[in-house]
């Protein structure tokens, strides 16, 4: 009873394992395509060569042939076939079909071949920090290759051969075939043509500014769908530097998702949106759009001097309203707004705009940023948070928060993949936009679009202005910190913009890390957003209008 019923299944498996040997049938890994079906990742027909030592008749002859045809050292092959303990040894993986055909001509016994996955990235370093890469065994190791590995990898099958006690295949023995189930394909929200624009712009940014890195993100503000993402420097996905892990980790890390930085003046969008919404709500502490602020360069908070980036030696920073404050990025006015609203209200909007929390993007390693706990924030901290200091965010957080400020007040979860489907075209899963929260009202959002359009038309964002088109945005320049102190001469320059300003369809964030020479976001980052916007206008044949 015990042997037949309770122990029976295990014994059957042991018996099958003793009288059969298997050849794996590797599932074909799924392709990755852009939103229009352009193939960004696919497979090459390569094979794994392995041998069963007991079935080999002439080890020396086989070793010579394998080393010659596979480009391997003879001693290495001979030792693999004679000194390893395993009865079945892998000789080489990812062998091209041409080499397999040459080996087949020898007619060796005991040598077997199985298809494996060799990933091909047709555009080399294109979208490298998003696509990621696989291991030599075809398993996802980084990027979307890792995040969606369970869909892409499929299920392996096998061929079972009857063998004798030492593993030699029996003449006229039966063979059982268990087919592999190929992996599923994934369709991205990425638009190949927009991605090309981003790649070109960021490569030029590196060359023009001499920066440490250049990053760009383009998304649809009405859905959260990411249309383009480029980070330079990058690396060729077909030539992965596996022998230098530090370099590989640095180049493959998606900095826009995983790294944080002080946003500087781009964060003023939140402070402005909070003030506008509170004013509409009837909060008497909030300022109207017509209010004229104190033109002093300084504010004294708890005995500490908080100053503007400008020396206020000209009349640009006098008699400023909220529009003027945004146009000239005047720090003290945003301090006034934050201090008037108070810590509790400011933190309400920091939370609403999802700072200090992950966005929920379909990507591994997302950072939640760095936001001081509300209970620990002093007045002087709050005054600096108002203009983008004493807070650290990811580029993705900033882009999504800005999108929600100008799209009608809706915060959408950003995403890379829109569809998962089979080779025959059958859709297995469709991913739709996900509305995460309502951050501000439609009226407040409309006001924000107008204010930020003014920044590009008449203010610091003028280098993103496109004649005949309505563009909005905000520049940012932030000092960098090293070991807790300001790193002299090191800045992060940024610009976040959108168009058409009245009905936003595209939003772009540009971050230039440590530019050499000029470092203001207005002159360093904004021109590259303009370059990509102009490219999109041509590609999509978008008609302009006169403001």
| Nearest partner of 288 among 299, 280, 298, judged by Cα | 280
Largest Cα separation within the chain, whole Å, is 98
Joined tokens for residue 385: 């948070």
Q: State whether residue 23 is helix, strand or coil.
A: strand
| Nearest partner of 507 among 476, 472, 537, 460, judged by Cα | 472
Q: State whether residue 14 is helix, strand or coil.
A: helix
| Nearest partner of 35 among 371, 470, 418, judged by Cα | 418
Distance CA 525, CA 528 (A): 6
Task: Verify whether residue 265 is a known catalytic residue.
Answer: yes
Helix axes 74-82, 59-70, angle to 10 degrees: 140
- Give the CA angle between residues 520, 286, 337 to the nearest 5°: 30
Distance CA 403, CA 223 (A): 9
Strand partners, 498: 472, 507
DSSP 80: H
Q: Are 60 and 78 in contact (CB under 8 A)?
A: yes
Q: Are 464 and 525 in contact (CB under 8 A)?
A: no
How far is residue 450 from each of residues 273, 279, 327, measured CA to CA in Å? 12, 16, 12
Dihedral class, residue 94 (left if φ above 0, else alpha if ψ from -120 to 50, else beta) = left
- Strands 32-33 and 435-438, sheet pairing: unpaired
Distance CA 55, CA 41 (A): 38
Active-site hit among 265, 445, 460, 494: 265
| Nearest partner of 430 among 440, 415, 441, 418, judged by Cα | 418
Structural element, H or E, at residue 479? strand 472-482
Provide the annotated active-site residues.
265
């Amino acid at each position: 009873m015990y042997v037949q019923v309770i122990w029976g299944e295990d014994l059957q498996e042991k018996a099958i394992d003793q009288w059969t040997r298997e050849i794996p049938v590797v599932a074909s890994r799924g392709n990755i395509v852009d939103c229009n079906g352009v193939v960004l990742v696919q497979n090459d027909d390569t094979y794994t060569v392995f041998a069963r030592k007991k079935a080999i008749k002439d080890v020396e002859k086989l070793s010579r042939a394998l080393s010659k045809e596979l480009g391997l050292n003879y001693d290495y092959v001979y030792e693999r076939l004679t000194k390893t303990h395993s009865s079945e040894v892998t000789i080489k993986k990812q062998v091209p079909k041409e080499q397999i055909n040459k080996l087949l001509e020898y007619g060796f016994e005991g040598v077997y071949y199985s298809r494996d996955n060799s990933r091909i990235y047709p555009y080399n370093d294109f979208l490298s920090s998003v696509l990621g890469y696989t291991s030599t065994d075809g398993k996802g190791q980084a990027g979307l290759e890792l995040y969606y590995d369970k869909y892409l990898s499929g299920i392996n099958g096998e061929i079972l051969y009857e063998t004798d006690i030492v593993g030699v295949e029996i003449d006229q023995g039966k063979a059982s075939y268990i087919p592999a189930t190929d992996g599923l394909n994934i369709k991205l929200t990425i638009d190949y043509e927009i991605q090309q624009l981003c790649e070109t712009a960021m490569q030029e940014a590196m060359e023009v500014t001499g920066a440490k890195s250049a990053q760009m993100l383009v998304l649809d503000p009405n859905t959260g769908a990411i249309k383009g993402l480029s980070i330079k420097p990058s690396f060729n996905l077909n030539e992965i530097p596996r022998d230098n892990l530090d370099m590989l980790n640095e180049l493959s890390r998606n900095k826009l998702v995983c790294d944080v930085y002080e946003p500087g003046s781009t964060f003023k969008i939140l402070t402005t949106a909070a003030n506008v919404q509170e004013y509409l709500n009837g909060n008497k502490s909030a300022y109207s759009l017509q209010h004229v602020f104190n033109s002093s360069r300084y504010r004294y908070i708890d005995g500490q001097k908080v100053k503007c980036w400008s020396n206020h030696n000209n009349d640009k920073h006098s008699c400023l309203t909220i529009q003027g404050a945004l146009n000239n990025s005047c720090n003290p006015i945003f301090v006034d707004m934050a201090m008037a609203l108070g810590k509790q209200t400011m933190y309400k909007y920091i939370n609403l705009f999802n700072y200090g929390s992950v966005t929920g993007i379909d990507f591994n390693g997302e950072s939640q940023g760095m936001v001081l706990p509300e209970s620990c924030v002093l007045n002087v901290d709050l005054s600096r948070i108002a203009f983008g200091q004493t807070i650290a965010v990811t580029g993705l957080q900033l882009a999504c928060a800005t999108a929600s400020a100008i799209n009608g007040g809706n915060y959408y979860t950003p995403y890379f993949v829109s569809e998962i489907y089979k080779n025959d075209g059958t859709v297995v899963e469709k991913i739709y936009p996900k509305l995460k929260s309502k951050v501000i009202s439609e009226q407040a959002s409309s006001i924000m679009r107008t204010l930020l359009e003014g920044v590009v038309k008449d203010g610091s964002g003028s280098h993103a202005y496109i004649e005949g088109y309505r563009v909005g945005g905000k520049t940012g320049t932030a000092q960098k910190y090293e070991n807790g102190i300001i790193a002299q001469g090191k800045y992060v320059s940024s610009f976040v913009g959108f168009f058409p300003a009245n009905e936003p369809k595209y939003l772009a964030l540009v971050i230039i890390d440590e530019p050499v020479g000029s470092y203001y976001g207005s002159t360093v980052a904004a021109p590259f957003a303009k370059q990509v916007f102009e490219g999109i206008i041509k590609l999509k044949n978008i008609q302009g209008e006169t403001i």
